[in-house]
Structure 1
């Protein structure tokens, strides 16, 4: 199988993608050696320095290993990915499913551990969410919605849980904005989910862990259901 020459820049990125695709497809199986830099440079239509940089990137991704005098050996067909990268590649429905698992337990813990300061933060976040409902900007509404959920998670008083939720936020934000734009739901219901969010805050306020968990499980579960139906 011959590698087609590259034409557009950045050449290093293209070389990485082309070589990675060939490795993933099994053109060079695990344990085999890649052709030399000169051969790869000729097939890709680039200089040896570009190939060298591409091989460094592949080594950093855990796909190849270079040893002096032994050449470059394939050690894996799929790259090692850090958590943020994995999240960026995930589908919204899968993120939502994990989010549901996290937030159900967070809501339960929040109802048992919340302080007056936590309740004040949730009240403020709920008020801002309601104010954002009158704004046609979906991004502003999503930011206000996530802030309320983050306030509930913070009230669980578990820093690891809060940090885990925070890692989801950038990808969730983008996914939610895209979802609202696609469905146009806020054009029909500007204050989307207001009653459920108010119920959540009240359940936490009265110290009702089962009630808080049920509200968030129902709200997020319905979204997961609709996303899965849309994907089928």
Structure 2
């Protein structure tokens, strides 16, 4: 199957897709060394820099691997799903277990690293969560996640913050469904409200293990009164 030239834009995406098709179809089996950049550029009708970027994208998907001084080799015929895609496909319970590990440690770090601005942000988010107790489930879940985001932010670890941010869409969907199915807020509009307030106090007081323990208890039973 000849590669053929690609259309003008977006060149990198089109080049990567053409190369991906060759790999996933078995035209270039695992272990095969790909043609050089100059050859691929000529076949695709693009510049070498475009080919280089396309190969980088394929490497990120786990399909190819460059070897210093040897060239680029096919390492798989199926792309590895990226992190957001894997999270969307994961069971909510699995994501929640990982969330617990991330947030409990973040609470511990937050108690050690918090600034007055961080504490003020947590207090504001706590008030927002309380105010949302009179609103619908979606609004309440959004306020609850905003509060937890403020705690993670106080840890001052950008990797933890990014990781929690990746969880948020899956968590939001799961928590909204949980509330809709169980009606947990019918009798207690602000579930775990006291635990959230206690968490803010522990972080503000610099009680790292206390903050971690409070958050662990809350996440084990997220909507206990």
- Check whether TM > 0.5: yes
Distance 1:83 1:208, change over 3 A: same
Asked whether the 8 Å contact 2:106–2:155 carries over to 1, the reply is yes
Q: Work out the number of aligned pairs and report it.
A: 164
Distance 1:94 1:66, change over 3 A: same
In structure 1, the partner of 2:178 is: 179
In structure 2, the partner of 1:229 is: none
In structure 2, the partner of 1:200 is: 199
Shift of 1:175: 1.0
Superposition map of 1:71-86 within 5 A = 79-86=79-86
> What is the TM-score normalised by the length of structure 2?
0.66
Shift of 1:65: 3.5
2:27 counterpart of 1:66: yes
1:100 and 1:64 map into 2 onto residues whose CA distance is: 41
In structure 2, the partner of 1:116 is: 116
In structure 2, the partner of 1:142 is: 141
Shift of 1:205: 0.7
- RMSD, matched Cα: 2.7
Asked whether the 8 Å contact 1:64–1:76 carries over to 2, the reply is no
Shift of 1:193: 1.1
Q: Deviations over 1:165-221 (max 9, x none)?
A: 111111111111111111110112110110111111110011000000000111112
Unaligned 5+ segments in structure 2 are 2-16, 29-33, 35-74
Shift of 1:66: 2.9
Q: Deviations over 1:100-158 (max 9, x none)?
A: 000110000000000000000000000000000011x1110001000010000000011
1:175 and 1:77 map into 2 onto residues whose CA distance is: 33
1:184 and 1:93 map into 2 onto residues whose CA distance is: 19
- Aligned-partner SS, 1:186: coil
- Aligned-partner SS, 1:189: coil
Unaligned 5+ segments in structure 1 are 1-35, 37-55, 69-74, 227-232
Shift of 1:89: 0.6
In structure 2, the partner of 1:87 is: 87
Q: Where has structure 1 moved over 2 Å in runs of 4 or more?
A: 62-68, 75-79
